[in-house]
Structure 1
Amino acid sequence: MADVAAPDVAARMLPALTDHNRAFWIGGANGTLMISWCPACERYAQPPAADCPECEGAMVPRAVSGRGSIYTYTVNHQPFMPGVPVPYVIAIVALDEQDDLRLATNIVDCEPDSVRIGLEVQVRFERHEVEGESVYYPVFAPRG
């Protein structure tokens, strides 16, 4: 099970929950990263969608390991959003389950200068409230 970050974290732009993205945003309640999966062509797709972008089959949510590596990243030094301390790392994480399965996220629990391409990471979740419902924002921290 993945670690869950404390609920009092920086402000975030949060999603409107839909039937197609709900599993992704609430899976963190039990430490699970849920990604859309197509049983027909056996491929994951992100962001969550109703239909597979490859074969147009129906997508279903499926738990993944939450492990991956940093594909690319940037360190932001500009205070674009009030309440979010700088610097912070914005990254694309390549998930272990599929070569082209990538997720835009933040890297936490490390100094920005220690982040590098290829760094192995593990999902964590930040709990936030959206319209009276808890959502769990996936962030990643270095493994180990």
Structure 2
Amino acid sequence: MSDTVKPVLEGVLEKGPPARLLGGYCPRCERKFFPEPFVCPVCQGAVERVPLSDKGILYSFALVRTKAPFGLPQPYAVGYVDLQADGLRIISLLDPERLEDLAIGMPMGLRVAPLGLGADHEPCLRYYFTPEASKENA
């Protein structure tokens, strides 16, 4: 992964290897959050930055065929991915090269790569999830 291409948002991922999303953990509530909040939204306590799982299950998704924002490829897909090890359901872009393989309930793996443009109109790193198998093998 290139060190010259910046993440779309600072503080939400470790470039790796392996690439990981960064979330927050509240020791008082024993809950995780993504993205990391400034304070726990439940108890207002301090949160710690923690790496999250790079594996999940596709809960739901939508294929979007309208003009893509931020220089994303067309069409593109967004979905909810359950990070079961963390007890989280997050929204994420899905692999634009694997749209035909998407199926609800399939295992997904985290990837970080240059994808689209940032607010400065320069290429940026984004996280997305990709199928770990084709839908015929899921």
Give the TM-score normalised by structure 1.
0.70
Matched residues in 2 for 1:36 and 1:126: separation?
Answer: 23
1:44-83 matches, within 5 Å, as 44-81=32-69, 83=71
Say if 1:126 and 1:142 are closer, same or farther in 2 by CA, change over 3 A.
Answer: same
Matched residues in 1 for 2:71 and 2:96: separation?
Answer: 18
Matched residues in 2 for 1:34 and 1:76: separation?
Answer: 26
Matched residues in 2 for 1:52 and 1:91: separation?
Answer: 25
Matched residues in 2 for 1:61 and 1:94: separation?
Answer: 19
Q: Match of 1:47, SS? A: coil
Asked if the contact 2:26/2:32 (under 8 Å) is kept, the reply is: yes
Asked if the contact 1:110/1:142 (under 8 Å) is kept, the reply is: no
The residue that corresponds to 1:119 in the other structure is 106
Q: Which blocks of at least 5 consecutive residues in structure 2 are unaligned?
A: 134-138
Deviation at 1:109, TM superposition (A): 5.8
Say if 1:102 and 1:32 are closer, same or farther in 2 by CA, change over 3 A.
Answer: same
- State the number of aligned residues: 126
The residue that corresponds to 2:136 in the other structure is none
Matched residues in 2 for 1:122 and 1:44: separation?
Answer: 19
Deviation at 1:112, TM superposition (A): 1.8
Say if 1:85 and 1:138 are closer, same or farther in 2 by CA, change over 3 A.
Answer: closer
Q: Percent identity?
A: 23
- The C-alpha deviation readout for 1:37-82, integer Å capped at 9, x for no partner, is 1122221012321111222221111012211111111001112337
